[in-house]
Copies of this chain bind each other. A is one copy, B any other.
Amino acid sequence: MTVTIKDIAEKAGVSYATVSRALNYKYGVNSTTRQHILEIASTMNYSPNAIARGLVKKQTYTIGLIIPDITNPFFPEVARGVEDMSEKQGYSIFLCNSNWEKSKENRYVKLLIEKRVDGLILAPSSSIVTAEDRQVYSRLPVVMMSGVQSGCGTGSVVVDNIKGGFIAGKYLIEKGRKKLSFIGGAEDSFSVKERYEGFMQAAECFLSVALSPDLVRFGDYRNKSGYRIMKELLEKKNIPDAVFASNDLLAIGILQAIKDAGLKVPEDIAVVGFDNIAAAGFGEVELTTIEHPKYRMGELAAGMLLDKIDLKPEINENERVVLEPELIIRRTA
């Protein structure tokens, strides 16, 4: 049905090896026969079969991208960075949402290996890398992104979460805030932990009083969660004068809770987020936050992966690049 190299060969009166060579601009085919072959291929509407090619070349020019949820505004930018960089080098990407489920993530890894992707970029749903995981990751080039410990056995690109937390804390304290609160996403998330750690370091360095344990809370990464937690906090007497949220979605929920309580941001309570998602910059929100270089992260991860793929024979040294966070001052702090 679909036209193959053999159909072209027949019509051109040459062997199909010659057709293959002609179509791939290989050295060693007469320029007039090549021309002839190219014309025939074009008029026959030939489309090379990348599957067949992949089988013999053992390379698919395809990489897998597994993220928790493309619907979370952090990930589209990352994905776009990955795609743009990959496309530049001729690679396509399989997009997979693990839905924050480790089991689904594992199934996807397995599937992608079956599909013989040339490499894998993984924004893991959980910070825990098991021995089995390592074993699987050793089967192909892998780079991990965001919220991954070093020594995970793969390449990785992350933002300096500790520094980001530190910057946020330092800024709030310099602005005269004394009663700090930390509201985080999942407590067992590695990046949340690190952001908290950096924040605490700033408090230790620059603040005489310690953080009230009641003012550090965890939930999930969603908007609603920030709202709920902040509301709880406000209903008690122990009200902070600044809160650092482990991500912007949370911070936006927090903003809303504060507004609903009739308090003013930043006068009564300052709020700083993390990630600098697009919505943080919207006029109605104007959230002060920490820039997380999302697009760049995707680009770098893809770049690193493609390097790994190309240098297959080389030692698979597990490079780790750490991106700089940056304070973005807007209205809320």
Instruction: Please choose the segment from A25-33, A93-101, A212-220, A321-329 that sits at the chain B interface, where 4 or more of its residues have CB less than 8 A away.
Output: A93-101
A94 partner, pick from B79, B84, B92, beta carbons under 8 A: B92
Task: Establish whether residues B47 and A110, one from each chain, have CB atoms under 8 Å apart when the complex forms.
Answer: yes
A84 to B71: give the CA distance in the assembly, Å.
Answer: 12
Instruction: Please choose the segment from A12-20, A123-131, A173-181, A280-288 that sits at the chain B interface, where 4 or more of its residues have CB less than 8 A away.
Output: A280-288
Shortest distance between the CB of A280 and any CB in chain B (Å): 10
Closest to A252 in B: B282
A194 to B159: give the CA distance in the assembly, Å.
Answer: 44
A223 to B139: give the CA distance in the assembly, Å.
Answer: 44
Is A303 in contact with chain B by the CB < 8 A criterion? no
A47 partner, pick from B87, B113, B278, B284, beta carbons under 8 A: B113
Shortest distance between the CB of A331 and any CB in chain B (Å): 10
Would you give the 0/1 interface string for A57-72, flagging 1 where the beta carbon is closer than 8 Å to chain B? 0001010010001110
Chain B residues contacting A299 (CB-CB under 8 Å) are none
Is A76 in contact with chain B by the CB < 8 A criterion? yes
Task: Establish whether residues B259 and A115, one from each chain, have CB atoms under 8 Å apart when the complex forms.
Answer: no
Would you give the 0/1 interface string for A111-129, flagging 1 where the beta carbon is closer than 8 Å to chain B? 1111110000000000000
Number of copies: 2
Chain B residues contacting A116 (CB-CB under 8 Å) are 49-51
Task: Establish whether residues A60 and B51, one from each chain, have CB atoms under 8 Å apart when the complex forms.
Answer: yes
A278 partner, pick from B60, B62, B73, B87, beta carbons under 8 A: B73
Would you give the 0/1 interface string for A75-94, flagging 1 where the beta carbon is closer than 8 Å to chain B? 11101100110010000111
Task: Establish whether residues B80 and A114, one from each chain, have CB atoms under 8 Å apart when the complex forms.
Answer: no
Is A256 in contact with chain B by the CB < 8 A criterion? yes
Closest to A257 in B: B283
Task: Establish whether residues B47 and A223, one from each chain, have CB atoms under 8 Å apart when the complex forms.
Answer: no
A55 partner, pick from B52, B69, B71, B73, beta carbons under 8 A: B52
8 nearest CB pairs, A to B:
A256-B283, A95-B95, A279-B279, A70-B76, A50-B114, A284-B285, A50-B115, A51-B54
